[in-house]
Structure 1
Amino acid sequence: MNFRRVIVLDLASLGVGEASDANRYESVGADTLGHIATLEGTDFQLPTLSRMGLGNIRYADPVVGLPPVEEPIGFFGKIRSKSEENSELSGLREMFDFQAATRTTSVIDSIVGLLGVHSILISNYQSYLSNQNEAEVIPVNTDEAGFYQLHQQVIKPNNGLLYFRAMGLQENAATGDRKGCIDSLKLADQHLARLMRELYSTDLLIITSSYANDPALAVTPTREYLPLIAYVSSLPEGKALGIRRTLADVGATIGEIFGLDFSNESIGHSFLGELK
């Protein structure tokens, strides 16, 4: 696929079940999505994310209200953090930083500085994002404001990277407000339905989460697998992407699309070749 733009929606705090190393982080039994869903039971519905394959990620252990669909329109899998650190920002660094020929840098700055395309970051204040000197940072304080900016940017025929870090889910998870978490996910689901209609055929949409935080557990953040969904409007049938070993696979995919030169020391592996 000849992609010209990658759009990353970071549903920060959304985990899909305890990771293989959860015992090292006091996270045995963690399941952000599952514990959120049980509050509403079968009334829990995320129709857009469900069509994209969110429920298929948990085909062996379905989330209530999110059964696997027979023909998902997205490519789906789950992804873990490889970093020994488990914080709200370590996932971002792992996702976007890579080892270039001479030093560690980020795909965010590199595609601007080396290739002259855009990097636009929509977020509340995050030190990692604000330190991307080549990127345009659009500050927002609510998800409604963030999704408004996202739609405004998506309809422009720009090339490059467009990243939006949603805030509502992480804020509600941090306070243990599971009802607020549900509302935040439903809001994202509604905006995704609109976003799908706005995408260009040369856009790749990636939906993931930079960290997990199960509101049902006392520890923050929780060590969980994270969702991974890739959607391409010109590819109406998706398939499984399996279990990815590191969030760096997201950055590696972006890097391959824009032709960045990764060192052999980089830990990420692109899934671009699996989108067909």
Structure 2
Amino acid sequence: MNFRRVIVLDLASLGVGECSDANRFNSVGADTLGHIAVHDGDDFQLPTLNRLGLGNIRYSDPVVGLAPADDPIGFFGKIRSKSRDNSTLSGLREMFDFQSLTRTTSVIDSIVGLLGVHSILISNYQSYLSNQNEAEVIPVNTDDAGFEQLHQQVVAPNNGLLYFRTMGLQESNASDDLKGSVDALKLVDQHLARLMRELYSTDLLIITASFANDSTLDVTPTREYLPLIAYTSSSPEGKALGIRRTLADIGATIGEIFGLDISNESIGKSFLGELK
């Protein structure tokens, strides 16, 4: 597929169940999405995310209100952080950094410096994002403001990378506000319905999370699998992407789309070839 732009929506702090090494991080029993859903009960509905395949990620252990879709329109799976530093920013570094033929750098800066396309980051202050010297950083303080910026950027015919890190869910999870977490996810779902209508046929939308934080556990963040959904309007039928071993697979996919020279020493493996 001839993608010209990648939009990454980072639902920061959304985990989808304890990871295989959860015991090393005091995270046995962690399930951010599941516990949020149970709190809302029968009222928990995320129709857009579910059409994309969010419920299919947990087909063997369904989440309340998120039964697997019969015909998901997104490519779905779950992904994990490989880093031993389980922090709220380590996932970002793992997602975007890669080993080039000469040094460790990020796909964010590389596609601008080498290819001359845009990298636009929409976020509140995060040191990793702010240190991307070639990118344009658009500061926002709320999800409503962030999504409005996202919509404005998506309808503009620019090529490159567009990244938005949501704030509402991570703030609610950090303050043990399950009702706020429900509301934050429903807001995301509503904006996603609009966003999907705005995408160009050469856009690839990737929905994931850079870390998990189950507010029902005492540890922060929690070690969980993270959602991975890829959607393009040019492919109406989705399928499973399986379990990805590292967030670096996202950066590797972006790198392949834009033709970056990524060393074999990089840990990420592109899933671009599976999006068909």
- For the criterion TM > 0.5, the same-fold answer is yes
CA distance in 2, matches of 1:218, 1:194: 36
Q: Counterpart of 1:175?
A: 175
Q: Counterpart of 1:71?
A: 71
> 1:131 and 2:131 equivalent?
yes
How does the TM-score come out when normalised to structure 1? 1.00
Shift of 1:117: 0.2
Gaps of 5+ in 1: none
CA distance in 2, matches of 1:47, 1:178: 19
Gaps of 5+ in 2: none
CA distance in 1, matches of 2:121, 2:144: 16
Q: Counterpart of 2:256?
A: 256
CA distance in 1, matches of 2:63, 2:46: 11
Q: Counterpart of 1:153?
A: 153
Shift of 1:41: 1.3
CA distance in 1, matches of 2:111, 2:267: 19
Q: Counterpart of 1:112?
A: 112
Q: Counterpart of 2:46?
A: 46
Q: Counterpart of 1:240?
A: 240
Q: Which runs of 4+ in 1 moved over 3 A?
A: none
Q: What amino acid is aligned across from residue 43 of structure 1 in structure 2?
A: D
CA distance in 1, matches of 2:263, 2:234: 32
Q: Counterpart of 1:219?
A: 219
Shift of 1:40: 1.4
CA distance in 1, matches of 2:214, 2:110: 33
Partner-residue secondary structure (3-state), 1:191 = helix
Shift of 1:206: 0.1
Partner-residue secondary structure (3-state), 2:237 = coil
Q: What amino acid is aligned across from residue 180 of structure 1 in structure 2?
A: G
Provide the alpha-carbon RMSD of the alignment: 0.3
Identity within the alignment, %: 84
Shift of 1:42: 1.9
Shift of 1:199: 0.1
Deviations 1:71-94 (A, max 9, x none): 000000000000000000000000
Partner-residue secondary structure (3-state), 2:20 = coil
Shift of 1:234: 1.2
Shift of 1:174: 0.3
CA distance in 2, matches of 1:181, 1:247: 23
Partner-residue secondary structure (3-state), 2:115 = coil
CA distance in 2, matches of 1:177, 1:260: 42
How does the TM-score come out when normalised to structure 2? 1.00
